[in-house]
């Protein structure tokens, strides 16, 4: 069997590329047509032209899963069977881990498993949210609606993550530049002053002495400093993964003013959007709350929702434990209580999610605006100290030359 690279158009009009095994070009084209594809080109792949299967990156992102769900919905509405849909998704998916998982999901369904059961076998690829919503969709006969809701949820999650990452690019870039400039100044520029003043027999100013001493430490003991810094970073990362570390960093996130606003609003948006999506798909309030607790990033919100799920299971309305935990803004539990009393919980949760999505964008902008002056102050101290260390000897030098 030879490998053939192909270009084709699927039933929803999207151009896809991939590879297929066949004995000849005609059989390859025939296989593609049997999958409902319109063949554009089929060409045998040689050693130098075949696809190189290299794993780049890790697990699929929320964006990858969202696109997959959208494509699933389009094919499902077009009348394509689940097995054929999974085959086409497998062929056009770029993420290696997701591609392999889709292949195994298809095999599981062929053995008699439901789609939800097959997805549940890959917890690192498909989140609990997707598995439970697919299960609810299969039970109610609204699989395409459940998948569409999952897609929207994942898109929102992806957008929020992108906003936070975008906000952090500027301070991280400035910090990296400041570190590089400082190291260059300490290793290259500052040492030259020491030799220059040694030739003149003039004593260096105190601030320059400090930076010269710091320069000597970096130059002579870098092989100790670098491993120590690396060990500290690794230690902090390892500590953050422990239960105590999660509580420490979680507490900092909801206590430090510059991060608190974004953390609370982001958690409120995620809770409302996910809970509303699950309830709208037919998942019970107890199970939905437990699922939401599992996807929360901050351990304090995770524990609060876990406790809320237990209280809901004994008949208490969700709005009460959310109010008692003291983590969510008043608007969250007030609107949720109105929804519970009026029988429109899902609608209220969707409105809350839309509101806090906008609030998250504003919180990101506010955080960025607040960090800019802090960065300027830090740069002023670092760069100002280096400039002073360089300028002070010049003034001393002029004084020494006048005295000669």
Task: Read off the CATH number of the domain in which 144 is found.
Answer: 1.20.81.30
Task: Determine phi and psi for 363, rounding to 5 degrees.
Answer: -65, -40
Question: Within this chain, do residues 301 and 383 fall inside the same structural domain, yes or no?
Answer: no
Give residues with Cβ within 8 angstroms of 247, minimum separation 6.
299, 300
Which single residue is written with the structure tokens 């400035």? 174
Question: Within this chain, do residues 148 and 195 fall inside the same structural domain, yes or no?
Answer: no
Q: Rounded to the nearest 10 degrees, how much is the dihedral formed by the CA atoms of 87, 93, 98, 100?
A: 50
Question: Within this chain, do residues 359 and 392 fall inside the same structural domain, yes or no?
Answer: no
Question: Within this chain, do residues 359 and 261 fall inside the same structural domain, yes or no?
Answer: yes
For residue 341, being part of any structural domain is answered with yes
Given a contact cutoff of 8 angstroms between Cβ atoms, the answer to whether 110 and 35 are in contact is no
- Side-chain half-sphere exposure of 359, counting CA atoms within 13 A: 20
For residue 163, being part of any structural domain is answered with no
For residue 222, being part of any structural domain is answered with yes
pLDDT for 236 equals 93
Question: Within this chain, do residues 35 and 9 fall inside the same structural domain, yes or no?
Answer: yes
Question: Within this chain, do residues 386 and 295 fall inside the same structural domain, yes or no?
Answer: no
Question: Within this chain, do residues 151 and 291 fall inside the same structural domain, yes or no?
Answer: no
Residues in the chain: 404
Q: What percent of the chain has pLDDT over 90?
A: 11
For residue 49, being part of any structural domain is answered with no
Question: Within this chain, do residues 103 and 143 fall inside the same structural domain, yes or no?
Answer: yes
DSSP state at residue 327: -
String of b and e for 61-74 (b: at least 16 CB within 10 Å)?
Answer: bbebbbbbbbbbbb
Question: Within this chain, do residues 353 and 279 fall inside the same structural domain, yes or no?
Answer: yes
For residue 286, being part of any structural domain is answered with yes
Structure tokens at 224: 């100790």
Other Cβ atoms closer than 10 A to 13: 8
- Side-chain half-sphere exposure of 40, counting CA atoms within 13 A: 12
pLDDT for 56 equals 43
Question: Number of structural domains, the chain?
Answer: 4
Residue 359 to residue 132: CA distance in whole angstroms: 28
For residue 361, being part of any structural domain is answered with yes
Residue 346 to residue 295: CA distance in whole angstroms: 19
Distance of CA 169 to the CA centre of its chain: 14
**Burial category of 295 from C-beta neighbours within 10 Å (exposed 0-12, middle 13-18, buried 19 and up):** middle
Q: Which residue ranges in the chain fall short of pLDDT 70? A: 1, 10-16, 40, 45-57, 193-202, 396-404
For residue 170, being part of any structural domain is answered with no
Residue 226 to residue 229: CA distance in whole angstroms: 5
Distance of CA 204 to the CA centre of its chain: 50
> Which of 156, 190, 221 is where one domain is finished?
156
pLDDT for 189 equals 78
**Burial category of 161 from C-beta neighbours within 10 Å (exposed 0-12, middle 13-18, buried 19 and up):** middle
Task: Determine phi and psi for 21, rounding to 5 degrees.
Answer: -95, 135
Question: Within this chain, do residues 151 and 69 fall inside the same structural domain, yes or no?
Answer: yes
Question: Within this chain, do residues 142 and 239 fall inside the same structural domain, yes or no?
Answer: no
Residue 110 to residue 296: CA distance in whole angstroms: 34
Residue 352 to residue 348: CA distance in whole angstroms: 6
Which single residue is written with the structure tokens 């299967």? 53
Residue 235 to residue 176: CA distance in whole angstroms: 21
Domain region containing 230: 178-252+376-403
N- to C-terminal Cα separation, the chain: 90
3-state secondary structure of 18: strand
| Alpha helices for 78-127 (secondary structure H) | 82-92, 96-110, 115-120
pLDDT for 251 equals 92
pLDDT for 53 equals 41
Question: Within this chain, do residues 298 and 350 fall inside the same structural domain, yes or no?
Answer: yes
> Which of 108, 125, 156 is where one domain is finished?
156
Q: What percent of the chain has pLDDT over 70?
A: 89
For residue 186, being part of any structural domain is answered with yes
């Amino acid at each position: 069997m030879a490998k053939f690279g192909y270009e084709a158009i699927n039933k929803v009009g999207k151009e896809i590329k991939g590879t297929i095994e066949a004995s000849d070009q005609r059989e390859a084209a025939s296989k593609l047509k049997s999958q409902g594809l319109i063949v554009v080109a089929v060409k045998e792949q040689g050693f130098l032209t075949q696809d190189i299967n290299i794993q780049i990156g890790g697990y699929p992102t929320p964006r990858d899963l969202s696109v997959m769900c959208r494509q699933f919905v389009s094919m499902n509405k077009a009348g394509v069977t689940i097995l054929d849909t999974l085959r086409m998704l497998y062929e056009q998916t770029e993420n290696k881990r997701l591609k392999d998982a889709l292949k195994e999901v298809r095999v599981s369904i062929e053995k008699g498993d439901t789609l939800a059961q097959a997805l549940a076998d890959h917890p690192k690829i498909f989140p609990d949210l997707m598995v439970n919503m697919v299960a609810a969709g299969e039970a109610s006969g609204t699989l395409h609606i459940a998948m569409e809701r999952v897609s929207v949820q994942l898109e929102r999650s992806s957008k929020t993550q992108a906003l936070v990452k975008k906000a952090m690019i500027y301070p991280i870039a400035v910090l990296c530049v400041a570190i590089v400039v400082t190291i260059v100044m300490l290793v290259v520029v500052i040492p030259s002053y020491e030799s220059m003043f040694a030739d003149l027999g003039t004593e260096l100013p105190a601030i320059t002495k400090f930076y010269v001493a710091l320069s000597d430490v970096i130059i002579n003991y870098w092989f100790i400093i670098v491993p120590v810094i690396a060990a500290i970073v690794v230690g902090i990362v390892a500590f953050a993964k422990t239960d105590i570390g999660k509580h420490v960093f979680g507490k900092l996130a909801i206590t430090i003013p510059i991060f608190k606003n974004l953390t609370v609003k982001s958690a409120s948006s995620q809770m409302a959007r996910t809970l509303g999506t699950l309830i709208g798909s037919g998942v019970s309030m107890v199970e939905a709350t437990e699922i939401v607790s599992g996807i929360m990033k901050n351990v304090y919100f995770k524990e609060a929702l876990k406790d809320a799920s237990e209280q809901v299971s004994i008949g208490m309305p969700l709005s009460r434990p959310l109010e008692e935990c003291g983590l969510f803004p008043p608007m969250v539990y007030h609107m949720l209580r109105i929804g519970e009393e009026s029988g429109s919980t899902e609608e209220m949760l969707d409105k809350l999610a839309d509101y806090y999505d906008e609030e998250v964008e504003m919180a990101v902008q506010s955080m960025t605006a607040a960090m800019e002056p802090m960065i300027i102050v830090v740069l002023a101290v670092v760069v100002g100290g280096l400039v002073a260390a360089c300028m002070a000897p010049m003034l001393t030098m002029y004084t020494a030359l006048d005295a000669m």
